[in-house]
Amino acid sequence: MPEHKILLNESELPTHWYNVIPDLPTPMSPYMGPDGQPITPESMQAIFPPAIIEQEMSDQRWIEIPEPVRDALCLWRPSPLYRAKRLEEALGTPAKIYFKHEGVSPAGSHKPNSAVAQAYYNRQAGIRRLTTETGAGQWGSSLALAGQMFGLDVHVYMVNVSYHQKPFRRSMMQTWGAEVIPSPSRKTETGRQALEKDPDNPGSLGLAISEAVEEAAGREDTNYALGSVLNHVLLHQTVIGQEAKAQLAKVGETPDVILAPCGGGSNVGGIMFPFLADKAAGKDIRMVAVEPSSCPTLTRGHYAYDYGDSVGLTPIMKMYTLGHDFMPPGIHAGGLRYHGDSVLVSQLYHEGILEAVAVPQIATFEAGVLFSRTQGIIPAPESAHAVRGAIDEALKAKAEGKEKTILFTLSGHGHFDMAAYDRYFAGDLEDFDYPDDALNQALHNLPDVE
Amino acid sequence: MPEHKILLNESELPTHWYNVIPDLPTPMSPYMGPDGQPITPESMQAIFPPAIIEQEMSDQRWIEIPEPVRDALCLWRPSPLYRAKRLEEALGTPAKIYFKHEGVSPAGSHKPNSAVAQAYYNRQAGIRRLTTETGAGQWGSSLALAGQMFGLDVHVYMVNVSYHQKPFRRSMMQTWGAEVIPSPSRKTETGRQALEKDPDNPGSLGLAISEAVEEAAGREDTNYALGSVLNHVLLHQTVIGQEAKAQLAKVGETPDVILAPCGGGSNVGGIMFPFLADKAAGKDIRMVAVEPSSCPTLTRGHYAYDYGDSVGLTPIMKMYTLGHDFMPPGIHAGGLRYHGDSVLVSQLYHEGILEAVAVPQIATFEAGVLFSRTQGIIPAPESAHAVRGAIDEALKAKAEGKEKTILFTLSGHGHFDMAAYDRYFAGDLEDFDYPDDALNQALHNLPDVE
A450 pLDDT band (50/70/90 cuts)? low
Distance CA B329, CA B56 (A): 31
- Interface contact flag, B171 A418, Cβ < 8 Å: yes
Q: Where in chain A is the domain with CATH 3.40.50.1100?
A: 5-11+66-108+231-445, 112-226
Q: What proportion of chain A, given as a percentage, has pLDDT over 90? A: 84
* Residues on chain B touching A71 (C-beta within 8 angstroms): 1, 4
Shortest distance, CA A146 to any CA of chain B (angstroms)? 9
The string of DSSP letters for B248-309 reads HHHTT---SEEEEE-SSSHHHHHHHGGGHHHHHTT---EEEEEEETTS-HHHHSEEEEEESS
Reported as a single tens digit per residue, the pLDDT across A370-386 is 999 999 999 999 999 99
B408: closest CA among B258, B244, B242? B258
- Interface contact flag, A377 B106, Cβ < 8 Å: yes
- Interface contact flag, B171 A375, Cβ < 8 Å: no
- Interface contact flag, B415 A416, Cβ < 8 Å: yes
Angle among Cα A16, A56, A78 to the nearest 5 degrees reads 30
pLDDT at A418 over 90: yes
- Residue B1: the pLDDT is 64
- Interface contact flag, A377 B4, Cβ < 8 Å: no
pLDDT at A400 over 80: yes
- Interface contact flag, A74 B3, Cβ < 8 Å: yes
Q: What is the mean pLDDT of residues A295-299?
A: 95
Distance CA B262, CA B269 (A): 9
pLDDT at A309 over 90: no
* Residues on chain B touching A86 (C-beta within 8 angstroms): 75, 149
Shortest distance, CA A368 to any CA of chain B (angstroms)? 9
Nearest residue of chain A to residue B6 (CA atoms): A9
Classify domain B5-11+66-108+231-445 at the CATH class level: alpha beta
Nearest to B1 among A71, A145, A419 (CB): A71
Rounded to the nearest integer, the mean pLDDT of chain A is 94
- Residue B331: the pLDDT is 66
- Residue B329: the pLDDT is 73
The residue ranking higher by pLDDT, A435 or A176, is A176
What was the ipTM of the complex prediction? Answer: 0.96
Q: Other CB atoms closer than 10 Å to residue B56's CB: what's the count?
A: 17
- Interface contact flag, A74 B145, Cβ < 8 Å: no
Distance CA B17, CA B274 (A): 9
- Residue B450: the pLDDT is 65
Strand order in the sheet with B405-410: B5-6, B81-83, B96-101, B405-410, B257-261, B286-292, B355-359
Strand partners, A109: A412
Residues in chain B whose beta carbon is closer than 8 A to a beta carbon of chain A?
A: 1, 3-5, 7, 9-11, 71, 74-76, 86, 104-108, 145, 148-149, 167-168, 171-172, 174-177, 369, 372-373, 375-378, 415-416, 418-419, 421-422, 425
* Residues on chain A touching B148 (C-beta within 8 angstroms): 373
The residue ranking higher by pLDDT, A335 or A379, is A379
Reported as a single tens digit per residue, the pLDDT across A233-249 is 999 999 999 999 999 99
- Residue A271: the pLDDT is 98
- Residue A331: the pLDDT is 66
Nearest to B9 among A7, A167, A421 (CB): A7
- Interface contact flag, B9 A3, Cβ < 8 Å: yes
- Residue A135: the pLDDT is 84
Q: Which residue ranges of chain B lie beneath pLDDT 70?
A: 1, 330-331, 450
**Max avg pLDDT among A200-214, A417-431, B87-101, B151-165:** B87-101
Query: Domain A112-226 belongs to what architecture?
Result: 3-Layer(aba) Sandwich (3.40)
- A295 with A353: CB under 8 angstroms? no
**Strand A129-134 with A62-64, pairing:** unpaired
- Residue A267: the pLDDT is 98
- Interface contact flag, A174 B415, Cβ < 8 Å: no
pLDDT at A161 over 90: no
- Interface contact flag, B421 A375, Cβ < 8 Å: no
How many H helices and E strands in chain A? 18, 15
- Residue A439: the pLDDT is 85
- Interface contact flag, A418 B175, Cβ < 8 Å: yes
- Residue B399: the pLDDT is 98
- Interface contact flag, B421 A174, Cβ < 8 Å: yes
**Among B1, B5, B421, which would you mutate to test the A interface (most chain A Cβ atoms within 10 Å of its Cβ)?**
B5
- Interface contact flag, B4 A75, Cβ < 8 Å: yes
pLDDT at A432 over 90: no
**Direct distance between the N- and C-terminal alpha carbons of chain B, in angstroms, rounded to an integer:** 56
**Among B71, B83, B175, which would you mutate to test the A interface (most chain A Cβ atoms within 10 Å of its Cβ)?**
B175
A435 pLDDT band (50/70/90 cuts)? confident
Q: Other CB atoms closer than 10 Å to residue B392's CB: what's the count?
A: 18
What is the enclosing helix (H) or strand (E) of A373?
helix A361-375
Nearest residue of chain B to residue A78 (CA atoms): B5
Reported as a single tens digit per residue, the pLDDT across A37-79 is 999 999 899 999 999 999 999 999 999 999 999 999 999 999 9
Distances (CA, A) of A303 to A57, A109, B41: 21, 29, 72
